[in-house]
Amino acid sequence: MRDSIDIPEYRVVIVTLDNHAAGPCLRVLDRLTADFPGLQVSVHAAAEWSENPAALDAARAAVLTGDIIIANLLFIEEHVQAILPVMRERRDHCDAMLGVVADTQLVRTAVQKSATVAAG
């Protein structure tokens, strides 16, 4: 067990093409929450958004409250344009933002976050 860390909630948000990341995240989450009880991880699949608008709403809401936000395998224009505005809105208010194998606009948003932190 780590030293006493009292963080009531810490949110990691993964926005990705499909649910391929959900399984590994859920498998490791139990082990991580033992050391970090307030840790929350959510995975949001862009492939669901066209058929399920509530899934897109949930992804946007999660991004707007996330502490670490990861955009992964997002390169279809429809998906990028659906999530990019909230990514930009949250950029300066989260601890970290990453674009991994993602559209250039998403990667630039994350890079601008990194530059802001380095300059601050």
Domain boundaries, the chain: 12-119
pLDDT confidence tier of residue 1, bands split at 50, 70 and 90: very low
Element (H, E) at 61: helix 53-65
Quote the pLDDT of residue 21: 76
Q: CA torsion angle for 8, 25, 111, 59 (degrees, to 10)?
A: -80
What is the per-residue pLDDT across 41-58, written as a single tens digit (0 to 9) for each? 999 999 999 999 999 999
DSSP state of 8: S
Question: At 76, which amino acid appears?
Answer: I
pTM (two decimals): 0.85
Quote the pLDDT of residue 36: 85
What is the phi/psi pair of residue 70, to 5°?
Answer: -120, 120
